[in-house]
Each structure stands twice: as C-alpha cells, then as structure tokens.
A and B are shown apart, each in its own frame.
Chain A
Amino acid sequence: MSVDPKDFSPGLNEWAPPPEGYSSGSRLERVLRQGRFAVTAELNPPDSADPEDVFEAARPLAEVVDAINATDASGANCHMSSIGICSLLTRAGYGTIYQISCRDRNRIAIQGDVLGAAAMGVRNVLCLTGDGVGVGDQPGAKPVFDLDSISLLRALKTMRDEGAFLSGRKISRPPPLFLGAAENPCVTPVEWRPERLAKKIEAGAEYIQTNYIFDMPVFEAFMARVRDLGLDKKVFILAGVGPLASPRAARWMRSNVPGIHIPEHVIERMEKAEKPGEEGKRICIELIQQIREIQGVAGVHVMAYRREHQVSEIILESGVLAGRRPVARRSRVQGQGRPAGEPRMEG
C-alpha cells in the first residue's frame, strides 16, 4: 500500500512506495504537489556530539515549517554533519532536507551516503556545489569538487530511476528521493541564472531553494524569465529569505560570505531604525509577503543564521501559513504511547 498523498497523520508508514506521480512521497513533496505554499527553514548545526542539541534547535522550527534543512558545512565551516542531523531528526519524526555539498566528498562517498540517508528515512535532498574552502574555518583543507551540483543531481536521479550507481552496478532497492537544488537569482550572471535553472531541472531537480533574496526587482525579473521559459510549471521554487541582525552584520555578510547580494537601500533602512534587529525582522516579513504574491513561487525558505529565535515570529507574522498546520512535525503528542526504541520513520 502506498502513502495517501493527503494523509499527513502521525504514524503513517512512509517507507511504503511513493504514491503515483510522486518521487518520494515525503511530506514536503506532498505539500508542494498539492499546491500549498510550503515553508522550510535552515537549522544551524551544533558544534557538539549531543543529539539533544539537535532536537533543541529543531523543535521551535518544526512548529512552523514543513521541512528542516540541515546544512552541510556551509561556508566551509565544520559542524555536525548533515547526514547525522537528518538521520536523528527523521527517525524522531521530523521532516528533513539533507544538504549535500560537492566540496568535501567524492562520488564514492556521496552515493554511499545517499543510500545510508535513505535507509534512515531521509527523502528530501538538496544538491549543492558548495563554497570554496578558503572562506571557512579550515582553509588548508583539500577541496574535492569531484562532481558539481548538476552532475550530482543527474547521478542521484540515475540511482533513483535506473537503480544503478555511476559504476553501473545495480542497487537492489533504489532510494526514493525528492531531488532539490539551489539557485542564486540576484548574483552575476543574472541574465543567465534562469537558463542555469533550466539546466538543473533538466538534470533532475524537482524543487529549488534560492539563496537570500533582498533585491525584489531583480528577483521579479528572474521570475518573469522563469515563467517565460515555463520553468515554474516544471519545478517548485522556494525563495530564500532571512532576517539581518544589524547594518554592520549585513555589510560583513555582503563582503565576506560568497553569493550574497544586499542592496544598499536595505542596509540604509536598518541604519535609520531605532532597533536594527527588529527592523531586520520587519524587512524579512515584508519580503515574504511580497514574494508570496509573485506568480510561480511555491514557498519560502527561511535562513536565520544566529537568529533562529526569530523564525517562528517571522513565519507566523507574515501569514504565509494562512492557518495551515505545517508538517515538519505533525504534533507534539505524536510520540506518546509509542514503545521506546521504535521511532517513527518519515521523510
């Protein structure tokens, strides 16, 4: 028996084959394919070996999102691994997105990890190239980049659809994955970003999470081109947003974190504000509300680095959930009455 696409009730066996027309049957995939405005958020991975630190970070997010992204050493900084976090959270009943960067692992490691993650119940993956090692905390590390985000997408699609590794060896039970990728609409070469998106879709991407959007006119132009190419019909686009902490932090991010474009007027607005932190949150909420009105946008992805405490306020105040209950964790009480050592397994 396959998963009922509309049934988000706890205890549902998502190990069952995906429903007709679904790649994975994960909750995120079902939310998107049913045309609901999806909300995802990024979890900042702990520098710790304590699982409780992961759950502590995940709990407040799970109340307001459909899936939680576990970053893979983003910015080339070492933290707890994405696969570790996703495995812990998935087996405790949370919806997760496993981020895979090509920077640190070659094709042998990545394909094996994907099977391992899928066996743990992880269903959503996000294929990334990854930042260069130079910006991270261990710039002396060897950059791998054996695959790139697009060949990674095609490799995972091959594992899923052909049931084979890139070596041609058969996979007896292929991983039912919902394949995602990133896009950075506001960064050079802006005129080519929609074409690159098309290539990612061609390679296998089914959903997209974008980098930070602060420049609405540029994003709107991007989306107009995306609609012209008919790409919004082929892929679910989740626009990336996040609260800025202060004008200084914004300037620092702009010049030190790769791929971040923040227009000057946004920073000036924060400078004029009495409480820059609150203003950053306000700006983020307004951006979400504007993004929601753009045709072809399927959801938002909130990245609140060191501002996790603001995520739930941002999402609730923006009104994007429109009274809907998110599904990253179905309910607080769902775990009760279940025998210990038998965690629920869902994507």
Chain B
Amino acid sequence: MYRLRLWSVRHARGLERVYKWVEGAMVGLDPVFSRLGYARVERPVALVERSVKTLLFDCEMCGQCVLSSTGMSCPMNCPKQLRNGPCGGVRPGGYCEVKPWMRCVWCDAWEGAQRMRNGAWIHEVLPPVDRSLKGSSSWLRVAREKAAERGHSETKSRARRIVAKAFAGARRNEPASAPLAEEPQSAVNREAQR
C-alpha cells in the first residue's frame, strides 16, 4: 500500500531496529530450521514474510531483501528496479520519471537512510538481483547465510562465488544480496513452481 510504504520510510529508524530483531530471531532459529529442513519451512515462512512486507513496503518478494541498505524504501518498486540509487530522470520535487504520480523510490530511500543507524550502507554497491530467487523467503536466506558463515555449508556455484567477490561490501552488509549458502530446491524458481 503506497501510503503505508511512505510511512515505513518515515519510520525507518524504528523499522531498522525491528528488522535487526527479526533477523536475530531467524538466525537464532537456524538449528530448528535445519532440523525441520529449510526446504520444508520455505513455504510457510515465505507466506508470512510476503504478507508482512507487502503491507509495509509493497514488497515484490525478490528474495534478496536489501531494505536495510535502502532506507526501508523497497527498490523493487522503482519501475526500473534500480538497486543503486536514483536514475537521471527524477522529476522536480522528487517524483518518478516513469510514474509521475509516485514519489521516487530512491529519493525516499535517501531520506530514510538519513534516519537510520546504518544509513551509510546506502553507499555500498549492490549486485544485480538473482531473478531465480523471486518468491522465496529472504529471511530464511539470511538465516542460512549467517549459519553458513559459521561453516555449515558452502556453495559449489561459481556464479555465486564471483558475485560475492565482486560485490564484497554488499555481501558483508546484506548477505542475502550475494548469497553463498546452498539453497533448498524449494527456494529456487519458486515463481515457476507456484
């Protein structure tokens, strides 16, 4: 919802705190998820994530959430889906080039970032979206990444390794944007499975 989305940017600081907490909880639940199997929890968690984030951010479920680096303004709402800042076509007053009635997602992101503790993350170069992860849970991905950092599993994918290397800063701040952990089958090409 557009108005709620703008509210979220205005309350970026508070949401950042909530987000940190959610992330901590997901990472803490890694042993539980592992025992149940990430493949099995993917669907229910994605469902909850979709409901909450659609309401607050007009989330598109890209599966690689970077809200903490974009002032709590979801970059997937940019008609060009830019992940690294506004384009050169922003209209006077900060309105979108493609949808003139809408605030530029990146002007909002900039304002949101100013309110956040980790606002400087917005300067980090983010990798392109892995479109095969659309529809999957980004929360679970973060949990897997944090667990993988502790040495649980490592990817065999060359593509993932080069992206993680080329976008090392993004990987540090937003592990789900350049993931390295093994993905359960149910988290890949979910959109096609639906």
Where the two chains meet, the residues of A that have a C-beta atom closer than 8 Å to any C-beta of B are 102-103, 107, 129-132, 134, 143, 145-151, 154-155, 157-158, 162, 164-169, 182-184, 187-189, 192, 195-196, 198-199, 202-203, 211, 258-259, 261
User: What 1/0 flags go to B137-173 for Cβ under 8 Å of A?
Assistant: 0000000000000000000011111110111000000
- Could you say which residues of chain B place their CB within 8 Å of the CB of A202? 123, 125
Count residues of chain B with CB under 8 A from any CB of chain A: 38
In the bound assembly, the distance between CA atoms of A241 and B107 in angstroms comes to: 26
Query: Hey, which chain B residues are within 8 Å of A158, CB to CB?
Result: 162, 166
Given contacts A134-B98, A150-B84, A202-B125, contact A143 B79 (CB under 8 A): yes
Considering the complex, which residues of chain B in the window 59-106 have a beta carbon less than 8 Å from any beta carbon of chain A? 79-94, 97-98, 104, 106
Partner of A151, one of B89, B92, B110, B127: B127
A148 touches B162 (CB 8 A): no
User: Does B126 reach chain A (CB closer than 8 Å)?
Assistant: yes
A166-B162, A196-B85, A196-B86 in contact; A107/B128 too (CB < 8 A)? yes
Query: Is B162 touching A164 in the complex (CB atoms < 8 A)?
Result: yes
In the complex, the answer to whether B97 meets A132 with C-beta atoms within 8 Å is yes
5 A–B contacts, CB within 8 A, in A order: A146-B131, A148-B80, A151-B126, A155-B128, A261-B92
- Cβ–Cβ contact B125 & A203, under 8 A: yes
Residues of A within 8 A of B82 (CB): 129, 145, 148
How far is B162's CA from A157's CA once the two chains are assembled, in angstroms? 12
* Chain B residues proximal to chain A, CB less than 8 Å: 79-94, 97-98, 104, 106-107, 110, 123, 125-128, 131, 157-163, 165-167
- Measured between alpha carbons, how far is A158 from B167 in the docked complex, in Å? 10
A147 contact set on B, CB distance < 8 A: 128
Q: Which of B84, B88, B93, B161 is A258 in contact with, Cβ under 8 Å?
A: B88
> Is A151 touching B80 in the complex (CB atoms < 8 A)?
no
- B residues near A150, Cβ cutoff 8 Å: 83-85, 125-126
Does the CB pair A168–B157 fall under 8 Å? Answer: yes
- CB < 8 Å A-B pair total: 120
Q: How far in angstroms is the closest Cβ of chain A from B86?
A: 7
Cβ-defined partner of B110 (8 Å) among A155, A169, A192: A192
Q: Which residues of B contact A148 (CB under 8 A)?
A: 80-84, 128
Which chain B residues lie closer than 8 Å to A211 at the CB level? 88
Residue of A nearest to B106 (CB): A189
CA–CA, A188 to B87, complex, Å? 10
Closest residue to B82 on the A side, CB-wise? A148
Whether B88 lies near A129 (C-beta < 8 A) is yes
Name the one of B79, B83, B90, B157 contacting A187, with C-beta atoms under 8 angstroms: B90
Closest Cβ of chain A to B12, distance in Å, is 16
CA distance A257 to B171 in the complex (A): 36
Q: State in angstroms the CA–CA spacing of A271 and B92 once bound together.
A: 24
Tell me the minimal C-beta distance from A192 to chain B in angstroms. Answer: 5
Q: How far is the CA of A103 from the CA of B163 in the complex (A)?
A: 21
- CB contacts (< 8 Å) of B106 on chain A: these are 189
Please report the C-alpha to C-alpha distance between residue A334 and residue B67 in the assembled complex, in whole angstroms: 56
Complex alpha-carbon distance, A248 and B81, angstroms: 33
* A167, B88: Cβ atoms closer than 8 Å: no
Instruction: List chain B residues, Cβ under 8 A from A192.
Output: 85-86, 110
With a cutoff of 8 Å between Cβ atoms, the chain A residues found around residue B79 in the complex are 132, 143
| With A182-B88, A188-B91, A192-B110: A129-B80 Cβ-Cβ less than 8 Å | yes
> In the bound complex, do residue A154 and residue B88 qualify as a contact, i.e. CB atoms below 8 Å apart?
no
Q: A188-B90, A189-B107, A259-B97 are in contact. Are A199 and B125 (CB under 8 A)?
A: yes
